[in-house]
């Protein structure tokens, strides 16, 4: 499968004439090739976006909302194709690709269409004047996305960005180009004006050309913390509007008064959804001493009951990791856990049919006996690897949970909602769930603090980020 760039309403081969392979995570085989875009490709995409900006940004928001509806309708018709491509490209189970990726990609466009249509202009009256706050487009946006939730995250940025009148250049992860290409086919099919959405494939070099270009006014980046820091260094000196959604090391805190059965289910899901490759995954599990043994028995049983195998199989709970390189990174943490004095309670290599042997496979791994300061317990691993720790008091749990450079998310499991809320408010993160995990309302702010990022997207925060407010003050006669 050969994929092309999409610039000014046309699918183009790269000017660079260079290509890179796209590999299947579950078999290790090449499934296609994508442009390895060079500077000229990126510059031509930026020029297309700049050219389309005046007309697109001057449309009435309700007209732009109609375009979002058309894209949502067309994506919905391709629901099964989205799920199939996403599963093939990322190695995630098809059931997950349907329930999370395909569903959210459609609902992101629907949600922002409604928000943009319903938005009312803010007005602040003074005794002798009226202030109107007008939200205008920022300009050309660079939207850079990772491989773990490819279309889910790309649509999360494209919908509010173009909805607020910006034009964009997308740079999806080189590891998962297929659904980004599908979105471009959809955009082409509905006939969105050329240049409003452009897309270049390629590696980090294409991303860095994009973030450093003076004609790009805004950068919305989701990815690793170290890349985020490079993006900030490139974009900040030019005062571009910048949103960074970065890594996480999130705690699941289990109190002794929780509903243990529901908690074990929830904590297992939080730990291993998408093979643990979700920035929100609860990869450090803190359990109150008095129920530790009982929790561990039930948790290990729950982890070992997960079905690992062919992502296209409807019964599969866990698929493959994204790449050989990433598998090696996650495996290196298993070795590190042993060096740091931990015990591997469950894990190893799964037993798989021959056709999957070339893929990037790892069984869900649970480590105990590590210090809460250990590298395994404080660094982002981003795979099917969790550490479990004991705690004795609320204060103890809060202290451990806050002992990491990240501050993205977390979950608290307790029968006492008052305590849940109290502890939640003491954890230094952007988001925290009580007795649930990844329970998303698209109106709420999404993002993290510390090394997990800068700024928020979601609901009115997305509309704010993808626009510039203009205050018009009208003095009364």
- Write phi, then psi, for 465 (nearest 5 degrees): -65, -40
d(CA 254, CA 289): 10
Q: Give the span between the Cα atoms of 394 and 255, in whole angstroms.
A: 9
Select the residue interacting with ligand NAD from 246, 253, 424, 463 (CB under 6 A).
Answer: 246
* C-beta closer to ligand NAD: residue 57 or 234: 234
Instruction: Choose the catalytic residue: 245, 288, 340, 457.
Output: 245
CB of residue 206 to ligand NAD, shortest distance in Å:
7
227 part of the interface to ligand NAD, by CB under 6 A: yes
Q: Which of 147, 361, 461, 466 binds ligand NAD (CB under 6 A)?
A: 147
385 binds ligand NAD (CB under 6 A): no
Q: Please list the helix, strand and coil fractions of the chain in percent, rounded to the nearest 5, in that order.
A: 45, 20, 35
Rounded CA gap, 426 and 400, in Å? 12
279 is an active site residue: yes
Give the sign of the dihedral formed by CA 143, CA 146, CA 147, CA 152.
Answer: negative
CA 147 to chain centre: 8
With residue 426 as reference, give the H or E element that holds it: helix 417-426
Q: List the structure tokens of 54.
A: 């005046």
Q: Binder to ligand NAD among 52, 154, 197, 231 (CB under 6 A)?
A: 231
Distance of alpha carbon 13 from alpha carbon 73, whole angstroms: 28
Q: How many residues does the chain have?
A: 477
Q: Does 424 bind ligand NAD (CB under 6 A)?
A: no
Residue closer to ligand NAD by CB (options 217, 288) is 217
In the shown chain, the binding pattern of residues 277 to 306 toward ligand NAD, with x for contact by CB under 6 A and - for none, equals --x---------------------------
**For ligand NAD, the closer CB: 414 or 462:** 462
Site for ligand NAD in 36-65 (CB under 6 A): none
Q: In the stretch 184-223, what mask flags binding to ligand NAD with x, by CB under 6 A?
A: -------------------xx--xx--x----------xx
* Binds ligand NAD by CB under 6 A, chosen from 148, 166, 372, 378: 148
Choice among 279, 331, 340, 376 that is catalytic: 279
* Cβ neighbours for 387, distance < 8 A, ≥ 6 positions apart: 283, 284, 285, 337, 342, 367, 368, 370, 374, 376, 377
> Contact between 382 and ligand NAD (CB under 6 A)?
yes
Residue among 25, 56, 35, 406 nearest 224 (CA): 406
List the one residue from 88, 144, 327, 434 that touches ligand NAD (CB under 6 A): 144
- Give catalytic residue positions: 245, 279
Binding site for ligand NAD (CB under 6 A): 144-148, 171-174, 203-204, 207-208, 211, 222-224, 227, 230-231, 245-248, 279, 380, 382, 408, 448, 453
């Amino acid at each position: 499968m050969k994929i092309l760039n999409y610039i000014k309403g046309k699918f183009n081969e790269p000017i660079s004439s260079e290509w890179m392979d796209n590999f299947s995570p579950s078999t290790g085989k090449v499934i296609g090739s994508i442009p390895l875009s060079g500077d000229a490709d990126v510059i031509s995409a930026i020029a297309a976006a700049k050219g389309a900006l005046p007309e697109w940004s001057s449309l009435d928001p309700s007209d732009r909302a109609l375009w979002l509806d058309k894209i949502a309708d067309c994506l919905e018709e391709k629901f099964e194709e989205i799920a199939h491509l996403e599963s093939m490209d990322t190695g995630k189970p098809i059931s997950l690709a349907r329930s999370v990726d395909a569903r959210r990609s459609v609902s992101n466009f629907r949600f922002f269409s409604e928000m943009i249509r319903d938005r009312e202009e803010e007005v602040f009256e003074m005794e002798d004047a009226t202030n109107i706050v007008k939200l205008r487009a920022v300009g050309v946006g660079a939207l850079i996305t990772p491989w773990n939730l490819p279309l889910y995250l790309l649509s999360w940025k494209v919908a509010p960005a173009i909805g607020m009148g910006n034009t964009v250049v997308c740079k999806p992860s080189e590891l998962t180009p297929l659904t980004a290409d599908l979105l471009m086919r959809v955009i082409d099919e509905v006939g969105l004006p050329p240049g409003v959405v452009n897309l270049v494939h390629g590696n980090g070099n294409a991303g860095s050309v994009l973030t450093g270009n003076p004609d790009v006014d805004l950068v919305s980046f989701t990815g690793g913390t170290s890349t985020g820091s490079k993006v900030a260094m490139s974009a900040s000196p030019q005062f571009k509007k910048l949103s960074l959604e970065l890594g996480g090391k999130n705690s699941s805190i289990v109190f002794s008064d929780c509903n243990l059965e529901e908690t074990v289910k929830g904590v297992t899901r939080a730990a291993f959804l998408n093979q643990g490759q979700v920035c929100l995954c609860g990869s450090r599990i803190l359990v109150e001493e008095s129920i530790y043994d009982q929790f561990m028995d039930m948790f290990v049983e729950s982890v070992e009951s997960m079905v690992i195998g062919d992502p296209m199989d409807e019964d599969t709970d866990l698929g493959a990791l994204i790449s050989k390189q990433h598998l090696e990174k996650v495996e290196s943490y298993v070795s590190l856990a042993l060096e740091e004095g931990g015990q591997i309670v469950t894990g190893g290599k799964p037993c798989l049919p021959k056709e999957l042997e070339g893929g990037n496979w790892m069984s869900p791994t649970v480590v105990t006996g590590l210090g809460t300061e250990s590298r395994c317990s404080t660094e982002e691993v981003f795979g099917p690897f969790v550490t479990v720790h004991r705690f004795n008091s609320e204060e103890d749990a809060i202290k451990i949970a806050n002992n990491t450079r990240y501050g993205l998310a977390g979950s608290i499991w307790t029968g006492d909602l008052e305590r849940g809320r109290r502890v939640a408010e003491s954890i230094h993160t952007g988001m925290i769930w009580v007795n649930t995990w990844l329970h998303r309302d698209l109106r709420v702010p999404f993002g993290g603090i510390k090394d997990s990022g800068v700024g928020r997207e979601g609901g009115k925060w997305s509309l704010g980020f993808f626009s510039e407010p203009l205050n018009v003050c009208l003095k009364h006669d």
